[in-house]
Amino acid sequence: MLSSLRQMPRTHIQIGSKRFVIQGRFIRIASLEQEWYDDLEDPDAAIASLGRVAPSADILTFWQRLPEIAPKYAYRMEPDAIAALPIKNYTLWWDKQLDSKTRNMVRRAQKKGVIVGMTEFDDSFVEGMKSIFNETPIRQGKRFWHYGKDVETLKREFSRFLFREEIFGAYLDGELIGFIMLGFAGNYATLGQIISKIAHRDKATNNMLIAKAVERCAEKGVPYLVYAKWEDGSLGDFKRHNGFERVDLPRYFVPLTLKGRIFTALRLHRGFGRSVPAPALRWIKRARRRITEVRYRSRGPGKLCNVKRV
């Protein structure tokens, strides 16, 4: 959901056919558990129901999913930027939307023998996942959430949503060097997981996986491919080079308690990062990266990973 609430204490609540998650320490925020895949068709009913359940939430947040970009409700609204790639056909993306340098990188990777294709979520694939995840404890300057997990944990965590996902693996001489989990959410598909081995970053593995996702969406007539939130930095550059664009979706914030009204009035409902000037926030991120690097180097050898044009 909101980045500032990641890894916070969570409570799950079922209201009718909708499953909500309430998370946060100082301010408790409720949202649909699977908001990338689900819509809140009756916000008024949800507001009334959340006011009667325990533990209580201070704020309800929900958004409109693609392609609904025009605000439909009178609640407090703020734009939420996502990275979306409009898809008409694969050839148009390859010729017009894809960065020329990235296109050449994909061609070189193909010549190096990287093969991308649909794969099954079997024991062999999970072992390959584990090998990729355990390559480094740090990615994007932060502790990597899946580092060190055993096979059974990975099976349990990544098999929950296979009913709506397709998996594509990138292989080099039979070795899994990257994969993508493509989730279908109605009018768009989402990149639920895209990752590759740092040892093979010269193979443009992630770019090849994006190309396969675009090809698959074109085959199925899916008009958008979504790659999480729009952002700056190396990952933002990667998205832009692959043709993703910024799309602002309406996100609503409905205070449910006095604390919720105070936090929204002070514009603190989206977390500390939103109130920090961009230059200061970049400095904080760089400092966090250096601290994390020192911390893990003191524990043993390791590598850092930034997703760039690879």
Q: What is the pLDDT of residues 12-26, one digit of tens each?
A: 999 989 999 999 888
Per the structure block, which two tokens stand in for 258?
């006095």
The residue ranking higher by pLDDT, 95 or 233, is 95
Residue 214 lies in a domain: yes
Listed residue (38, 56, 39) closest to 47, CA to CA: 56
Is 74 found in the same domain as 203? no
The answer to whether 307 and 140 are in contact (CB under 8 A) is yes
Per the structure block, which two tokens stand in for 138?
């740090």
Number of domains in the chain: 2
pTM across the whole model: 0.85
Torsion of Cα atoms, 161 then 163 then 165 then 168, to 10°: 110
Is 257 found in the same domain as 122? no
- The DSSP line for 13-51 is EEETTEEEEEE-SSS-EEEETTTTT---S-HHHHHHHHT
- State the Cα–Cα distance between residues 286 and 121, nearest whole angstrom: 36
Is 209 found in the same domain as 68? no
Beta strands in 215-296 (DSSP E): 224-229, 245-255
Is 119 found in the same domain as 182? yes
- State the Cα–Cα distance between residues 279 and 285, nearest whole angstrom: 10
Is 144 found in the same domain as 41? no
Instruction: Determine what percent of the chain is predicted with pLDDT higher than 90.
Output: 73
Is 219 found in the same domain as 88? yes
- State the Cα–Cα distance between residues 61 and 1, nearest whole angstrom: 10
In the chain, how many H helices and how many E strands?
9, 13
The residue ranking higher by pLDDT, 200 or 304, is 200
Say yes or no to pLDDT of 198 above 50: yes
CATH number where 161 lies = 3.40.630.30
Residue 120 lies in a domain: yes
* Strand pairing report for 10-15 and 18-23: antiparallel
Structural domain ending residue among the three candidates 196, 229, 246:
246
Residue 304 lies in a domain: no
Report which residue type is found at 296: Y
The residue ranking higher by pLDDT, 4 or 285, is 285
Residue 186 lies in a domain: yes
Residue 291 lies in a domain: no
Is 183 found in the same domain as 34? no
Is 240 found in the same domain as 92? yes
Show the domain range for 121.
84-246
Judged on CB neighbours under 10 Å (0-12, 13-18, 19+), 97 is middle
Is 186 found in the same domain as 89? yes
Is 90 found in the same domain as 42? no
Listed residue (177, 166, 248, 171) closest to 215, CA to CA: 166
Is 61 found in the same domain as 151? no
Listed residue (38, 39, 89) closest to 220, CA to CA: 89
Q: pLDDT for 173-190, tens place per residue?
A: 999 999 999 999 999 999
- State the Cα–Cα distance between residues 131 and 140, nearest whole angstrom: 18
Residue 305 lies in a domain: no
The residue ranking higher by pLDDT, 305 or 33, is 33
Is 149 found in the same domain as 17? no
Listed residue (187, 197, 189, 119) closest to 158, CA to CA: 119
Residue 259 lies in a domain: yes
Collapse the DSSP code of 61 into the 3-class scheme (helix H, G, I; strand E, B; otherwise coil) and give the result: strand
Q: pLDDT for 25-38, tens place per residue?
A: 889 999 999 999 99
Residue 294 lies in a domain: no
- State the Cα–Cα distance between residues 131 and 135, nearest whole angstrom: 6
